[in-house]
Amino acid sequence: MNKNSTVVVSLFLFVITAALYSGAAFFPFCMVDDSDYVVLNTHVTSGLSIESIKWAFATFHASNWHPLTWLSLMLDSQLFGVNPMGFHAINIIFHSLNSVLLFILFFVMTESRWKSAFLAACFAIHPLHVESVVWISERKDVLSFFFLMITLLCYSAYVKQSRRYYYVFSLIAFALGLMAKPMLVTVPVVLLLIDFWPLNRITPTYGHTEILKPHDNASRHLSHVLLEKLPFLLFSAVSCWLTVSAQRDAISTFERLPLLERINNALWSILVYMRKTVLPFDLAIFYPYNMIPNWKAAGALLLFYALTLIVFKYFRKYPYLAVGWFWFLVTLLPVIGLVQVGNQSMADRYTYIPHIGLFTMMIWGGEEFFASVQKKSLIVFAAGGILLFFSISTWIQVGYWRNNVILASHAIEVTNDNYFAYSILGRAYEKLGKEELAIAQYMEALRINSNDADTLVNLGSILNNKGRTIEAISYLQKAVKLAPRLAEAHYGLGSALDKIGSINEAMSEYNIALIIEPNNIMFHNNIGVIFAQQGRLDDAILHFSTVQILSPNDDKAKYNLERAIRQKNQLK
C-alpha cells in the first residue's frame, strides 16, 4: 500500500504540473535570449553532429559554459526543427519530472510522505518558477535541477547503504549538472547540510561534533565526512573558473557598480524573494537595477540576523529550520549579485533551487506549529488552499508569456522605469511591422537609460530602414562607443554608412562585426548581397558559401549563391 501511494503521488505530481504548464507549449520564442540560444544559433538549429558537439564544449557563447544545455537544445532541434512547441514541451516535461524527483528525494531522506509531497507540489506550481519553465533559454535551470536531484538521491543512497558506487554516481551526476548550469557550485555545502538533517550523520553537541552511524559504517570521523566533499569542491572550483572566464566581458566592474550598492541590492533582493514566495505578485521578466537606500538594506540585514539567531537557538530541536535557511541563502549566493553579471537587480528564475530551503522551513515548521490542532482536516484544507492559490497565480503568470507584447507590457506595468521591457516591447512591435510604435518604445527606453547599447542599435537600425539614415548613424555610433564588442552595433553602423555611400567605412564595420561573430549567417548573407550589388562577385560567393556551410538548409543563401555564380559565369 505504501509503495502504491508513492507511485500515485508521483503520477499525480507529474500530471498536474504538466497540465498547469501545457498551454505554454503553444507559445512563440521569447524575444530575449531565445535567438542566441536557438533561433539564430546555427550550431543549435543544425542539430547534433561532431562539429556541433565540439562547439558545445569549447564555446563561451552567451557568456556561459554549459555544454550539456547546448547539447539538449541541439537534440530538440534534431527532433522538432526550429519549432518552439517541441522546446517548450521538453522544458515542461523536465519540470514535471523534477517535481517528482524532489518528492522522492525528501521522502527517502525524511520518510515523511505527505510533507515531502506538499513540498514537491509547492515547488511544482509556484509562480516564481514560471520563468524557468516557460522560457526556452532557461533549459539550463530545469536540466541542472534534474541532475541535482540525481546527485542528492545517489548521495542519500550512499549514506544509507554504505555502497561507494552510489558516491561515484553522485559525483558524476554533479559534474553533469555543472555542465548544464554552474549555479550548482554550492552543492558541496548542500551535502553537508543534509548530512546534518535529515540524514542525521552529524550531531552537534555543546563541546564538539559527533558523527552518528545508523546507516554509514564508513563515517567514523568528522574529517571523513568533510573529505567526502573534496571531489565535489574540486568540480565546483573548475566550474567557477570556467564561468568567470566565460563571463569576463559581462561582469560589471566596481567602478560601474560599487561594492556597497551590490551588498545593499543583495540584502534587499533576498527579502523580496522571501516576500514573493508568500505573495507572488508583480512578477516580471526583468527587474531594473535601482539604488537601494542604506536604511532598507540595514533593515533587511537586521531581519536576517534575527532569523539566523532563531535557527541557531533551535537547531537541535528543529534542525530543519537551520538546514532550510542556509540552503536558501547558500544556493542563492552565486546569483545574488555580489559578482554582477547583466543589468538585472534580481530574477524569478534564481529561486528555482533556493526555494527548496524556504519550503522546508515552512512545511516542517508549520507541522510543528499546528501539531496541537485537533482537527487534522483543517490542516489539509489549509494546504489545499495554498496549492490552489499557487496554481491560479501560476496559471495567470504563464499567460503573460503567450506573446512578447503581453510579456513586455506586463513587466512595464508591474515595475518602474523598466527600460529593458520597453526595449523588448519595441522589438515585438517591430517584428509585427508596427514601426512607429516600435520607435516610440525605443525612445522611452532611452529616456530611462540613454546608455543601453542594445536599444541604441535597435533604434538606429529601424531608423536606417525608414530612410532616416543620418539620425540612425548617431545612435549606432554611440552604441559602438558604449559596446565595442557588440557585433550588431558594428553591423548596423556599417549598413547605415553603406547607405550614404561611405563604402570603405562601412566595410570596416562589417569586418569588425564578422571578427566578433564569424559564424553569424545574417551578417554573411547581407554582406554577400552588398558585394553582389557592387559587382564584387567573388567576395559575394565567399560569404554565401559560408552561410551554406553554416546552415545548409538556408534557402535564401542558396538562391543568392546560385545567382552570384550565374552572374559571374555570364561575365566570362
pLDDT in tens, 86-117: 999 999 999 999 999 999 999 999 999 999 99
| 503 compared with 360, residue with greater pLDDT | 360
Q: Do residues 436 and 533 share a domain?
A: yes
Q: Which of 369, 399, 429 is the last residue of a domain?
A: 399
φ/ψ of 226, rounded to 5, equals: -70, -40
The pLDDT, as a whole number, for residue 298 is: 97
- Which of 354, 336, 314, 366 has its CA nearest to residue 190? 354
Model confidence band, residue 269 (pLDDT cutoffs 50, 70, 90): very high
Same domain membership, residue 484 and residue 517: yes
For residues 419 and 381, membership in a common domain is answered with no
pLDDT for 38: 96
95 and 46 both lie in a single domain:
yes
At 372 the pLDDT is 67
pLDDT at 394: 98
53 shares its domain with 155? yes
Residues 348 and 463 in one domain: no
**Which run of H or of E encompasses 209?**
strand 209-211
Tell me the pTM: 0.93
Confidence category of residue 572, pLDDT binned at 50, 70, 90: low
Q: Are residues 305 and 341 in the same domain?
A: yes
- Of 374, 399, 424, the residue at which a domain comes to its end is 399
Q: Which tens digit of pLDDT belongs to each residue from 460-487?
A: 999 999 999 999 999 999 999 999 999 9
Is pLDDT of 401 > 60? yes
Find the domain containing 536 and state its range. Answer: 404-571
Cell numbers 506573446: residue: 403
> What does the pLDDT look like over 361-370, one tens digit per residue?
999 998 887 7
Domain stop point among 358, 381, 399: 399
Tell me what pLDDT residue 221 has. Answer: 67
Whether residues 394 and 409 fall in one domain = no
The predicted structure's pLDDT at residue 159: 95
- Are 105 and 174 members of one domain? yes
203 — phi, psi (to 5°)?
A: -120, 105
Concatenating the DSSP letter of every residue in 407-435 gives HHHHHHHHSSS-HHHHHHHHHHHHHTT-H
Helix axes 84-110, 2-21, angle to 10 degrees: 150
Q: At residue 227, does pLDDT exceed 90?
A: yes
Question: Confidence band (pLDDT; 50, 70, 90) for 212?
Answer: very low
- Is the same domain home to 243 and 158? yes
Q: How far apart are CA 538 and CA 531, in angstroms?
A: 8
**172 pLDDT more than 60:** yes
Question: Looking at the 3D structure of the chain, how many domains does it have?
Answer: 2
Same domain, 180 and 296: yes
Average pLDDT on 325-330 reads 98
Q: Same domain, yes or no, for 369 and 242?
A: yes
Distance CA 181, CA 139 (A): 9
Which residues, other chains included, contact 264 with Cβ-Cβ below 8 Å and sequence gap of 6+? 291, 292, 293, 294, 296, 297
Which CATH number covers residue 446? 1.25.40.10
Q: What percentage of the chain exceeds 90 in pLDDT?
A: 76
